[in-house]
Amino acid sequence: MPQYKLMDRFGNELSHGDLQKKLQWCKDGEQLEHEFLHLFGSRFGLRLNEQKHKDPTVPDFIHTASDRYVDLKTQNTPFFNARRYGVEPQFAVTLNKIDVDRYTRLYPGLIILYHVNWLAVKLLKPDGSFIEVSPMEGIWAASIRHIPALCRRNNLHSYLQRKADQSGNAKDSYVLDLRNPVFRAFSVTDTLARIAGDT
């Protein structure tokens, strides 16, 4: 039984569900990728990476104009304990260490897209204290070449419950701040071509 509760903006408790079930996450992730492509593919000039059918670990999309790989990170739950790593939970996103290592080695021109939509906005602790963020939705982009400079030992979070995990779940993630200048927030008039050109 979890020691804390997650609440949505209406005060409803959110189920923890099967957060650690890697196969379900992969299935959900695939759904999220197709939904994102449906909503933003034309505007951002994206197409599905054809290799995705053979290897689910390759980047999700290709930016047609620049032929650069693009990987989508959808985050709906804030990292409420981000202050431990010097980041405000409102603007904290995570990136798996294994992804940073792999992307920089195999896809040096990759663009990372964060689609953030905080469905959980409050973490209630057993002692009655809480951490709260404001509802927020948006899209941020960064080039992978800028990411390693943000990755240090003091912002590397280890998932204790995954240390013995053999299912493929990442065991460590970097806690990153969307307010850092390497991240470009999309406005209603931005296109990925503009962002890609700057990164």
pLDDT in tens, 62-116: 999 999 999 999 898 999 999 999 999 999 999 999 999 999 999 999 999 999 9
Residue 145 neighbours by CB under 8 Å, 6+ apart: 104, 108, 109, 199
Give which of 121, 124, 120, 123 is closest to 134, Cα–Cα: 121
| CATH classification code of 5-198 | 3.40.1350
d(CA 141, CA 72): 9
3-class secondary structure, 86:
coil
Which pLDDT does position 22 carry in this prediction?
Answer: 36
The 3-state DSSP class for residue 116 equals: strand
Alpha-carbon dihedral sign for residues 9, 14, 18, 24: negative
Average pLDDT on 12-23 reads: 57
Residue 179 pLDDT > 70: yes
Reading the block at residue 133, the tokens are 């963020």
pTM (predicted TM-score): 0.83
pLDDT band at 21 (very low <50, low <70, confident <90, very high): very low
Quote the pLDDT of residue 38. 87
For residue 127, the tally of other CB atoms under 10 A from its CB is 8
